[in-house]
Chain A
Amino acid sequence: GQQLNQSPQSMFIQEGEDVSMNCTSSSIFNTWLWYKQDPGEGPVLLIALYKAGELTSNGRLTAQFGITRKDSFLNISASIPSDVGIYFCAGQLSGATNKLIFGTGTLLAVQP
């Protein structure tokens, strides 16, 4: 199935550092969503983006919907140990029946 290009694949950082990850696609999306998944659990929604150029924050998280509607980034500031997990971007294609295409995921490890 189709997947979005997400990078980096993994990150190993020290507590307190800022983190940035991004997703790109050759397709135009209506909506970008960012999720976090802990081991053995379902993804939890972090941020939803609906308009091109939209910049949205949720606590220490900030995400932006690219102007071309083909990319998005997620920033985490002042990382803490509980930020550990896998982060996925997901895009909804224009005209699709709410189906999401998922990114390949970014594994984040935070060392105290």
Chain B
Amino acid sequence: GAVVSQHPSRVICKSGTSVKIECRSLDFQATTMFWYRQFPKQSLMLMATSNEGSKATYEQGVEKDKFLINHASLTLSTLTVTSAHPEDSSFYICSANLGQNTQYFGPGTRLTVL
């Protein structure tokens, strides 16, 4: 299957700082990538759709000014959590579409905000 990477795998930061998470499609180009958030013992919840060369589309209830998404190339999307607070601590996972509506996921980034 297709390979999607994320960096960093885990990050610990102080409250009020900003954190950037990168998502890369390693062996294919992805015009569309997706960002999910997963709290402990829960399912994945879609946060936003990242579109190469245009603005991201955010799901209802997700603050676009807090979760900045940039999809500058066909293989890279970044999610920046601005002014992070403890309630933003979560597992953030990206995915990219390949071919016939099949999404491949990255390994996830564990964010802990102190």
Q: Which residues of A contact B (CB under 8 A)?
A: 1, 3, 30-31, 33, 35, 40-45, 48, 50, 88, 90, 92, 97-105
Contacts and interface: CB of A to CB of B under 8 A. Distances in A.
A93 to B, nearest CB: 11
A3 B59 CA distance: 14
A9 B97 CA distance: 28
B49 A30 contact: no
Contact of B93 (A31, A33, A43): A43
Nearest to B101: A31
A107 to B, nearest CB: 9
A40 B108 contact: yes
Interface residues of B, number: 28
Nearest to A30: B101
Nearest to A43: B105
Contacts of B105: 35, 42-45
